[in-house]
Chain A
Amino acid sequence: MNTFLLIVSDAFWSALAAMGFAMLFNVPQRALIHCMIGGAIGHALRTLLMQKFGFSIELATLLSATTVGFWAKWCAIRLKMPSMIFAVSAVIPMVPGVFAYQTMIGILDTTHASNTDVVDILAQSSVNAIKTGVILASLAGGIVAPSLIFKRRKPVV
Chain B
Amino acid sequence: MEEQEQKPLMAREELRDVIALSLWAGQMLLQNGADSQRVEETVHRIGTSLGCDWLDIVVMPDAIIASTVSHGEFRTKVRRAPGRGVDMQKIAGISDLSYRATRGELDRFELRKALREIDEAPRNYNRWTVVFGVGLACAAFSRLFGGDISVFVITFLASSAAMFIRQELHKRYFNSFIIVVATAFVAGSIGSLASLFNLSPDPTIAMAASVLLLVPGVPLINAGEDLLHGHTLTGVLRGVNGLLIVMSIALGLILSFWITGVSV
Q: List residues of A whose CB falls within 8 A of some B CB.
A: 9-10, 13-14, 16-29, 31, 43, 80-82, 84-85, 88-89, 91-93, 95, 97-98, 100-102, 104-105, 107-108, 111, 136-137, 139-141, 143-144, 148, 156-157
Contacts and interface: CB of A to CB of B under 8 A. Distances in A.
Residues of B in contact with A, size category: 35 or more
Contacts of B182: none
Name the prevailing secondary structure of the B interface residues. Answer: helix
Contacts of A28: 88-89, 92, 124
Interface of B: 33-35, 38, 40-41, 44-45, 55, 57, 86-92, 95-96, 123-125, 129-130, 133-141, 143-145, 208, 211-213, 215, 217-218, 220-221, 223-225, 227-229, 246-247, 249-250, 253-254, 257, 264
Given A25-B87, A26-B86, A140-B227, A104 B217 contact: no
B228 A141 contact: yes
Contacts of A25: 33, 86-88, 218
Contacts, number: 157
A32 B263 CA distance: 38
A97 B140 CA distance: 13
A23 B225 CA distance: 22
B91 A85 contact: yes
B135 to A, nearest CB: 7
Given A28-B92, A85-B92, A88-B218, A143 B225 contact: yes
B221 A136 contact: yes
Given A23-B129, A105-B250, 13 more contacts: A24-B137, A25-B86, A26-B87, A27-B92, A82-B34, A84-B38, A88-B88, A91-B217, A91-B221, A100-B246, A104-B246, A105-B264, A136-B224
A44 B120 CA distance: 38
Nearest to A95: B217
A98 B145 contact: yes
Which of the listed residues A24, A95, A156 has the most CB atoms from chain B within 10 Å of its own CB? A24
A19 B137 contact: yes
Contacts of B218: 25, 88
A1 B55 CA distance: 58
